[in-house]
């Protein structure tokens, strides 16, 4: 048996790279990222996928023997990356961009190399302390008192799901209560909240979409009226979800008023600030987000407002005990970990156990660049958005949504052409922009009509990129006009 074991050890030895091999892989990886950044400004922001290439990826052989690093990187560069959206591009104005900081990628790399078991304090007290420190930083930013806590999630959807689960546990909802339980949100609430409700087995809850004002913000007085009516009818109001930066319009719900209502009515108050939460870092954002500390739970996404690569969300809860109550479990094989619990662990407050050392990808850029650089970047994005909004407003045949509160607004083209089907014309314009791929814009439906969305949040979007967006828009409008 020993002989066989030795043979297997030798054969699998390639998994443990030598120092020379590591140096070679590192060199190739570094060269790849250098070239990627060097060519970024000339890379397309969008390219439609090529069905043949997708087939090639799907059929790619995973061979018994390994191949060289250059072959692998070449495959990624030529087949995988050039299709679809390029979220690293500063010309990405769709959905919610972030860009992806190089410093964060290096933090992530070191997290993977050291492979700390970040879910449990006993296993990696340093990683857990670092994660808790980052949560405390966010908690202070929100204005929460001592006793708040949370965890770093993979993104806003997971963080919202965790909050919904905690709220449900706190409300003590039984299966028999579900059809009478009521959630209050708006039709602008991100769909991940609906999905969270579904995953938590709460799709049969009653959902109230509270009417919105002219700036697409929830009308607080309507909210309270609806809650009172529901209570009078014997229903169980248990969750209010407000947004800081709705995905369509970047609208901010009246946080303080909603908080006061939630407290008066004894309902869990959750704020989805996945998009807009980090604007708390600047004075203007702080003013706009006044009252956020009245929430029981808040979601923020570092892969949006702090420009991290995808894979970073955060949930902060005013009373961490609520999260612990909803998630903590014990098991025989975990007994060593419970003996030493100086701090709460991510595994106590979230669905994850084995956990990537996620804190490092955030810690790295915050420490390396300093917070002030992030404040300047966020302020810059706010001004760039106003700059773009002003420019579009000056165009006669462009209809623009109200002045943006954050860095998102919508617009649509209303030219005087033979065809007056504006939805169709705007779809054509979108298709033309996508075909060209120099900039990327996503679209939405507002009150049943087709609108473009413009969101400025990539770390690489500056004045040049906004001017590039304007030029690309004009160029494509002219092209569509000439074809109609
Ligand atoms: C307001 C809001 N909430 C939640 C999410 C979901 O976050 P994620 O995509 O990180 O899961 C998004 C995503 O864009 C969002 O804009």
The count of residues in the chain is 484
How many angstroms separate the alpha carbon of residue 252 from the centre of ligand 1? 15
Pocket test for ligand 1, best of 157, 197, 277 (most atoms within 8 A of CB): 157
The set of protein residues with a Cβ atom below 6 angstroms from ligand 1 is 95-96, 155-157, 160, 190, 192, 243, 245, 247, 272, 274-275, 301, 313
Question: For the packed helices 359-369 and 125-142, what is the interaxial angle rounded to 10 degrees?
Answer: 60
Pocket test for ligand 1, best of 274, 279, 289 (most atoms within 8 A of CB): 274
- Segments of 179-232 assigned E as strands: 181-185, 206-209
275-289, 335-349, 421-435: lowest mean pLDDT where? Answer: 335-349
Task: Output the CA 54–ligand 1 centroid distance in Å.
Answer: 27
Residues with Cβ within 8 Å of residue 56, at least 6 apart in sequence: 79
How far apart are alpha carbons 85 and 90 in whole angstroms?
Answer: 12
Beta bridge partners of 242: 271
Categorize the per-residue pLDDT at 10 as very low, low, confident or very high, splitting at 50, 70 and 90.
very high
Contacts of 431 (CB under 8 A, 6+ apart): none
Residue with CA nearest ligand 1 atom 16? 247
H helix or E strand, kind and range, residue 258: helix 255-265
Reported pTM? 0.97
Mutation choice for ligand 1 from 152, 191, 192, 312, CB with most ligand atoms inside 8 A: 192
Check residue 77 and report its DSSP letter.
Answer: I
Distance 334 CA to ligand 1 centre (A): 33
pLDDT at position 418, please?
66
Structure tokens belonging to residue 251 = 């609208």
**Per-residue pLDDT at 340:** 73
Residues 121-137, mean pLDDT to the nearest whole number: 97
Cα of first residue to Cα of last residue in the chain, in angstroms, is 78
Exposure letters 49-61 (e unless 16+ CB within 10 A, then b): eeeeeeeeeeeee
**Cα(190) to centroid of ligand 1, in Å?**
7
Instruction: Tell whether the model's pLDDT for residue 339 goes beyond 80.
Output: no
Contact 268, 171 (CB under 8 A): yes
268 alpha carbon to ligand 1 midpoint, in Å?
Answer: 20
List of residues 6+ apart from 145 with CB closer than 8 A: 318
Instruction: Tell me the best of 153, 242, 289, 301 to mutate to test the pocket of ligand 1, counting ligand atoms within 8 Å of each CB and taking the most.
Output: 301
Where does residue 64 rank: exposed (0-12), middle (13-18), buried (19+ CB within 10 A)?
Answer: exposed
Residue 143: what are its φ and ψ, rounded to 5°? 100, 25
| Residue 484 neighbours by CB distance under 10 Å | 11
Instruction: Return all residues near 374 (Cβ < 8 A) that are at least 6 apart.
Output: 278, 281, 306, 307, 366
Cα–Cα distance, 194 to 204 (Å, whole number): 11
**pLDDT tens per residue across span 226-282:** 999 999 999 999 999 999 999 999 999 999 999 999 999 999 999 999 999 999 999
**Taking 90 as the threshold, does the pLDDT of residue 387 lie above it?**
yes
Report the separation in Å between the CA atom of 290 and the middle of ligand 1, taken as the mean of its atom positions.
21
- Taking the centre of ligand 1 as the mean of its atom positions, its distance from the CA of residue 47, in whole angstroms, is 23
Residue nearest to atom 14 of ligand 1 (CA): 96
Atom of ligand 1 nearest to the CA of 157: 11
Binning pLDDT at 50, 70 and 90, where does residue 123 land? very high
Mutate to test the pocket of ligand 1, among 100, 152, 155 (most ligand atoms within 8 A of CB): 155
| pLDDT tens readout for residues 452-471 | 999 999 999 999 999 999 99
pLDDT digits (tens, 9 = 90+) for 178-230: 999 999 999 999 999 999 999 999 999 999 999 999 999 999 999 999 999 99
Q: Which atom of ligand 1 is nearest to the CA of 273?
A: 1
């Amino acid at each position: 048996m020993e002989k066989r074991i030795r043979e297997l050890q030798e054969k699998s030895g390639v998994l443990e790279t030598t120092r020379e091999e590591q140096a070679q892989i590192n060199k190739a990886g570094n060269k790849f990222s250098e070239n990627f950044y060097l060519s970024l400004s000339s890379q397309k922001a969008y390219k439609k996928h090529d069905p043949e290439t997708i087939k090639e990826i799907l059929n790619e052989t995973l061979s018994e023997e390994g191949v060289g690093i250059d072959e692998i990187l070449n495959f990624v560069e030529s087949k995988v990356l050039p299709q679809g959206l390029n979220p690293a591009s500063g010309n990405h104005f769709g959905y919610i961009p972030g860009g992806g900081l190089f410093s964060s990628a290096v933090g992530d790399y070191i997290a993977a190399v050291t492979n700390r078991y970040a879910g449990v304090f006993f296993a990696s007290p340093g990683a857990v302390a670092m994660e808790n420190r980052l949560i405390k930083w966010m908690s202070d930013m929100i204005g929460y008192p001592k006793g708040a806590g949370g965890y770093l999630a993979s993104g806003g959807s997971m963080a919202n799901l965790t909050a919904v689960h905690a709220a449900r546990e706190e409300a003590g909802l039984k299966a028999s209560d579900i059809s009478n339980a009521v959630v209050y949100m708006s039709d602008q609430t991100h769909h991940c909240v609906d999905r969270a409700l579904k995953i938590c087995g709460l799709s049969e809850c009653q959902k109230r979409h509270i009417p919105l004002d002219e700036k697409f913000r929830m009308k607080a007085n309507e909210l309270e009226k609806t809650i009172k009516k529901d209570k009078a009818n014997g229903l169980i109001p248990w969750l209010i979800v407000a947004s800081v930066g709705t995905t369509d319009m970047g609208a901010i719900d009246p946080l303080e008023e909603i908080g006061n209502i939630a407290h008066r009515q004894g309902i869990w108050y959750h704020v989805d600030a996945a998009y807009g939460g980090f604007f708390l870092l600047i004075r203007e954002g702080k003013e706009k987000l006044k009252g956020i500390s009245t929430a029981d739970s808040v979601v923020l996404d570092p892969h949006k407002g702090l420009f991290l690569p995808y894979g970073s969300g955060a949930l902060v809860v005013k009373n961490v005990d609520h999260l612990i109550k909803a998630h903590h479990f014990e098991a025989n094989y975990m007994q060593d970990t419970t003996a030493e619990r100086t701090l709460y662990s991510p595994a106590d407050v979230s669905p994850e156990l084995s956990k990537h050392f996620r804190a490092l990808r955030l810690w790295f850029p915050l420490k390396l660049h300093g917070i002030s650089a992030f404040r300047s970047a966020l302020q810059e994005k706010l001004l760039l958005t106003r700059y773009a909004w002003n420019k579009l407003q000056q165009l006669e045949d462009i209809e623009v949504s109200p002045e943006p509160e954050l860095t998102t607004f919508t617009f649509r083209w209303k030219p005087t052409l033979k065809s007056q089907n504006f939805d169709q014309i705007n779809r054509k314009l979108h298709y033309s922009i996508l075909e060209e791929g120099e900039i990327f814009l996503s679209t939405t439906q507002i009150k049943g009509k087709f609108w473009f969305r413009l969101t400025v949040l990539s770390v690489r979007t500056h004045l040049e990129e906004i001017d590039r967006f304007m030029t690309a828009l004009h160029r494509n409008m002219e092209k569509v006009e000439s074809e109609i």
